[in-house]
Amino acid sequence: MAFQTSPTFFPALQVFAGSAVLSESEPARNFILDERVPHDREADYLAHPFVPVAAMTADDWFQHGWQFARERLCQPASRISQTFEPVNQQNWLNGIRPDWDVVRIETLDGLNSRGTDAGLGESRVADLLRRLIEAREASTPLDLNDELLLSGWLEKVNLRSDRRPAFVAPFAEVEPLLAQPEWADRLRDAFGLAHVQPRGGRPRLVVLMQYSLDRVFQTHRSRPAWAASPTVLDDVPSTGPNPCFFPAPRSSSSDGFGFTIDLRPPGDFWQELLHAPIAYQLDDIRRVGEVTAVVSDDDIAAARARHRDLLSDDLTFLSDLPS
């Protein structure tokens, strides 16, 4: 619907879409372009406690988005993210094969902020994770003390994780990228994770997670759905909506998957989907790597332009964007 039903919010989106500030313009363009948001879900978003839209600023919009995501995705009263409730049924991926392996990247500092109750510093966790991976590669058991520390840490991580849907990519599709020496930078770029940047001139440590969708299926098999196509209402913003997300047109994705924005030229398509949350296990942790390359706003703008050009023939609401 692209939010055209609102006589006040849609014009505000068009104003934001013409902003010279990338963090305002690109999320607004995503809202206008998204063909997958169901009418009832759009209405719920607009009915959620909102500021007077006639005088709305981008910061007002961002704050609303955060509150909406917090209540509908992260901490829903029903304990089911709205992504997997009947209001979003048209985006459920009921035909997906649960025997696929999928991957996602977590920042180590992000994980450790959730596992802080374990009392382990980030460098200590990084060292323990590397020992875990080395022991696995050598087919030797991990030191029992180390295993207990890591298991306790991961338990804390899981306990403090919310109910938001997880963005993942099929392992088989991105496996060649993992063979590259700078795999952490390459995967960060392929997944469009521009917020994962070096800090203070130092590399950002990331953890590669890999697991079978069958575990997600088994965990949520009593629920109506456990996998879905991504929309602009499925992201949980931090400072604002993600400018590196781009809604996939229906006619470009017959299987319902979304496409990541590849930040590295020439810009390939990488499939992505959402699944319901699961608790991580130690076996899911496959690699620890360093993101060293910086991504600028100019890089994001260029990547979005490439991505939009590839999809332009299928974007139903492209003419609604400001010139």
Concatenated DSSP letters of 218-259: HHHTTSS-SEE---TTS---SSSS-TT--PPPGGG-TT--EE
Task: Please report the sign of the dihedral spanned by the C-alpha atoms of residue 101, residue 105, residue 111, residue 113.
Answer: negative
Per the domain annotation, does 147 fall within a domain?
Answer: yes
Residue 218 scores a pLDDT above 80 = yes
132 with 192, same domain: the answer is no
pLDDT range class, residue 59, cuts 50, 70, 90: very high
Who wins on pLDDT, 237 or 87? 87
17 with 131, same domain: the answer is no
Model confidence over 93-107: pLDDT tens digits? 988 888 999 999 999
196 with 297, same domain: the answer is yes
Per the domain annotation, does 2 fall within a domain?
Answer: no
Give the residue from 159, 184, 217 where a domain finishes: 159
Q: Which of 76-80, 83-87, 117-121, 286-290 has the lowest mean pLDDT?
A: 76-80
64 with 131, same domain: the answer is no
295 with 221, same domain: the answer is yes
205 with 98, same domain: the answer is yes
Per the domain annotation, does 4 fall within a domain?
Answer: no
Mean residue pLDDT across the chain: 94
Over residues 30-34, the mean pLDDT reads 96
CA gap 315, 247 in Å, rounded: 9
Distance of CA 25 to the CA centre of its chain: 19
Residue 254 scores a pLDDT above 90 = no
Per the domain annotation, does 283 fall within a domain?
Answer: yes
Give the residue from 159, 190, 225 where a domain finishes: 159
74 with 180, same domain: the answer is yes
Q: For the CA atoms of 297, 83, 104, 213, what is the dihedral angle to 10 degrees?
A: -160
Model confidence over 290-311: pLDDT tens digits? 999 999 999 999 999 999 999 9
CA gap 259, 269 in Å, rounded: 6
Per the domain annotation, does 3 fall within a domain?
Answer: no
Give the residue from 96, 125, 159 where a domain finishes: 159
The pLDDT of residue 97 is: 81
- Domain span at residue 22 reads 9-112+162-320
Model confidence over 129-175: pLDDT tens digits? 999 999 999 999 999 999 999 999 999 999 999 999 999 999 999 99
What angle (nearest 5°) sits at the alpha carbon of residue 243, between those of residues 256 and 253? 15
The pLDDT of residue 15 is: 94
125 with 166, same domain: the answer is no
Identify the three-state secondary structure at position 79: coil
Per the domain annotation, does 1 fall within a domain?
Answer: no
Residue 313 scores a pLDDT above 80 = yes
The pLDDT of residue 1 is: 63
Per the domain annotation, does 298 fall within a domain?
Answer: yes
Residue 84 scores a pLDDT above 90 = yes
264 with 239, same domain: the answer is yes
Identify the three-state secondary structure at position 82: helix
Residue 50 scores a pLDDT above 90 = no
Per the domain annotation, does 31 fall within a domain?
Answer: yes
Model confidence over 108-117: pLDDT tens digits? 999 999 999 9
Residue 323 scores a pLDDT above 80 = no
The pLDDT of residue 2 is: 79
The pLDDT of residue 239 is: 72
The pLDDT of residue 129 is: 98
Number of domains in the chain: 2
107 with 120, same domain: the answer is no
147 with 244, same domain: the answer is no
Tokens describing residue 67: 């509150």
188 with 306, same domain: the answer is yes
Residue 212 scores a pLDDT above 80 = yes
